[in-house]
Amino acid sequence: MIQVNRIYLIFNRLVTKKFLVDTSGETFKTNCNMKRIYIVMLFAALATITYAQTDDKGYQEGAWVLKGVTGLNMSQTAMANWSAGGENSIAGNAYLNASLTHKKGNWLWVTNMVLDYGLSKTKSQGMRKSSDKIGLSTQLGYSTDNVWFYTLMGDLNTQFAKGYNYPDKTHYISNFFAPAYSNISVGMEYRPKSNYSVYLSPASTKMTFVEDDYLSELGAFGVDPGDRFRMEWGAYLKARAELIVMENVNLITTADFFTPYSDQFGNIDVNWDVLISMKINKFLSATLNTTLKYDNDVKTFEDNGEKRGAKVQFKEILGIGVAYNF
């Protein structure tokens, strides 16, 4: 209980202050309120601390164990002669978050997949993309005590379709495999339970692909103008938990951290996903999906075109729809 109170006090101090980012020798303030971000982070951290030792299914020797959640969320607003104003809108997203585990003897093979795609449409703004993600990771580990695993890991992260910096729909800022990020690493994984793990690699490669002529010429996502590929050597840390927080409430969270062995060592790239699925009844479910990112190679621009440094990126999707846990 003392640890929980201490964490709460730390987060409470953070959410009452403005967030500072220091990058490329430039320090600037972000005026956005970070309270919502830290509330989600606090919930995920406390759930992990409290329930990390639970194990819902465990391993099945020689068998393939598939588990996860998939679903479809929808929302709609319809108006007719509404005196207070407003406009019709419709939005939806489909998602999948799954893991496949196979254990045989001292060997353990784990594969995780995350898919998410969403659209929204209003009369004034037309169709816009609200979420877009493809994530795949696989790892093979060998252990003599079923807790510590010598592990080889690889992953790939990209998106389905073009992305725009709305309201500008003329110039896209991302596309399928532009960017795509891949990490290949060798390290040690601590896995005391089948649903909870921490992986550390001192020998990791971060590869950035920009397989689009337009974005490549711009030198987007840290590649040199005209190039389509960039590789960095560094250290890599990954933590993942699949938890039953309480009855009918499931949480899946994955956090990735990478720092290069270069003059930017200590400047950490972060990718933290949280999916909370709350079952309402046999057919309906509410989901909260958040992503927090920081990548020093992804620069930002002000509305006037002035180039600034990298910023903390945060996305949240709260929806109600049909979901299936397996």
Kindly give the interhelix angle for 35-51 and 2-15, rounded to the nearest 10 degrees. Answer: 170
CA–CA separation, 284 and 196 (whole Å): 27
Average pLDDT for the chain: 81
The predicted pLDDT at position 205 comes to: 95
Proportion of the chain above pLDDT 90, given as a percent: 46
Q: In sequence order, which residues have a C-beta less than 8 Å from that of residue 80 and are 6 or more positions away?
A: none
Distance linking the first and last C-alpha atoms of the chain = 32
What are 144-194's pLDDT values in tens digits? 888 999 999 999 999 999 999 888 888 899 999 999 999 999 999 999 888
Q: Longest Cα pair distance anywhere in the chain, in angstroms?
A: 70
Q: Which domains does the chain have, with CATH numbers?
A: 60-77+87-325 (2.40.230)
At 290, is the secondary structure helix, strand, or coil? strand
What was the pLDDT predicted at 156?
A: 96
What count of other Cβ atoms lies within 10 Å of the Cβ of residue 234? 22
In eight-state DSSP terms, residue 221 is G
Pick from 9-13, 239-243, 262-266, 281-285: least confident: 9-13
Determine the Cα–Cα distance for residues 188 and 315; give it in Å rounded to an integer.
Answer: 31
Check residue 19 and give its pLDDT: 36
Query: What's the rounded mean pLDDT across residues 283-299?
Result: 86
| Residue 68, beta-bridge partner list | 98
**What integer pLDDT is reported at residue 7 of this predicted model?**
38
- Pairing mode, strands 229-246 and 196-209: antiparallel
